[in-house]
Structure 1
């Protein structure tokens, strides 16, 4: 057997879940059992490069011998066309009470045989050939599942001790088992989705059944988000109070998270007291400098020690789920960017338009779309070539990005045309921004290899709500019509689309 280590995929794989701080810092230990070709798969090398400890075995005997001295987190096992040796390995792993997550990889055995593998203790069965992304996904989910299992197992061990010393309190233990089942369901529900909105919904759906609460607040930085929930409309005032306090707390949070803050504690930072409420907060640590909060409150009765344990375990699972969602969001972000300018691409910008259009239709919230087109850009390409033209577009993208708010979205529609979406903005403010942007570009000297060039842009603006705009295409068409009018009026100007469909010259020319 062999073992190596390095650093490529480590950010995508959760760490080892144990109670020892030293073990917690160790990378996951992976056992790979199979023929030589199976052991040479590129995915194992990539996992080693990410810092994971990978041990390779040619057969089950050597693997079982190594488990006692080096307990693995995950076992990847090759399955042959005749699966009986695999069934025997699963039974022997159960006999030695290994808590490793077992992922099998092999040919299509049929539903009945695969079901038997899962019944005998395997976490997943991957039909080969399995892409690296599928293997990594199974690994990540397996580690999450193992962490939840260990937490439930540890808590079950505590319950066994209580049962031995307090045999008369069987009803209490029965209630605990119900809570553990609910905790397991909630942990699985949190681990499933890869977006923070769905995770928040799963939390609200499951937490109140696990620990009776009246109000829940969840907040996280980077990006700054706050979610709140209340049991009934009777607690709406408390919910709004919690929401306001979470927002103010995150605005003030800047110091790194200390180890002492990682424990469940009473929230004594200034939340106004209500009539004898039970108030608890669980810090959610995503990195040494990034911390969120899970806040719970109820009007009747303090939280018991057992409830604090449950809340702490929920906090651990919630931290991991939100961290994984953030990684997924980062990957989605990369897929939504224009390769040249790093602005949003056309598809991503149209998704923003769709979201703002829905908000405008539902809440009558105003928003503006600004289309910007570089005047006579062909002359720039003719003079400096496409490389020089690309550098000009990159610089224009930077100027536009620096001119807008963090809540605004800037994208490249293609070629020399750009779009800016301004949420909660009326035409007057959009026109001010558009004119300032037009003026900045007009008076900016764009340096390229072999010289410099002056650039002007034509701008069209369309606002919602608007009786003539009911779809994203109509919104884009309205802004494009205003842009076309700006081109027709001599370029280097800003034109606004009005509700009656007319185009009004706002500035420039």
Structure 2
């Protein structure tokens, strides 16, 4: 009789655990459950699991911490991560740690079933690869090494196909390079629209001097390829390293460089620092990795551009109405789950119709762009900004109480009122009215109630003479 597939479900929400358990058991899997990160780690210590399905936030520990522990204990287990509020950074970190799939809540059984089949197919393939390598190693060490590199390339390609998000693609390529070449660090130097970014991933922590050496080397190779001068100070550097208590690595003594080309255009440089090259290393291996990376990055870039067009307002660059509502629902659910504060500012340009009638709609667009710019410059990275419609804007402020939100609204109002807009060679003063609402509030049961209360406060500002900010009652 064939051994059952063992699954570990980790989630701090009882309903999610029960639903997944019932569904997976009906599919014929043997299921264990854990309600916290520590329980999950205890379960991992007792049994080897084929697949682990874990939430991102487990209360006591994060799903990332459980995943990092798992990789130290059971490197072959496949992991499916689920989350209700995952960001690109979360997705990126998850894929860099070898997650098979990332599912956004609310989950569906069809998606869980599909991701389970993919994870088990990968596990079966990995077992077959291991068997082939063991058989080959006894007969021919060189053949075994070449087969291992081919399978590593296959795994890299499979992981790159699994995501179209830009940062996870970069992290997947770099972590795979460090593994394939057993090197101290790997980096990708990218230039897009005049912006230069250097992404570095190292097996051990790196000193600032070594990061500077890697940056200078990548920049010099790029300039040799493109004859394009870029000052080193203009290169934005992002560095990650494997979790380790070890000291920084030694100086970078040797660098292998490969140009990244997509659609007959060089888009960057891929570098491997101090690679462990041997006589068994396939001579074309770095170039295959470079081609895979360039293709994946180009696809991710196009996907990012298309997604941006779908989610943002074309004039102001802020989230459009639909995208803002999606984020509002996510933030409202998170605030309700963790009992945290969430405020919303609704802003309306006073007498905007008169601006359009007097100066024309093109000049009105200048006002809309200017108000959006001031709103953006007045906000934190965690704030969610959108153009709600016409001359109305919204700002969602996590972890911000009503007093703080009202102060912020007042600062925005003053900044706009003191900023004359140049319309048809005339300096035109523009004012705005704002309404502020904050959750938790007994009158708010759904996310739309937050908008409704902010809108009522905005109406109060209009009623009292405009050019003011009011708080919902």
Classify the TM-score, shorter chain: 0.3 to 0.5
TM-score by length of 1: 0.45
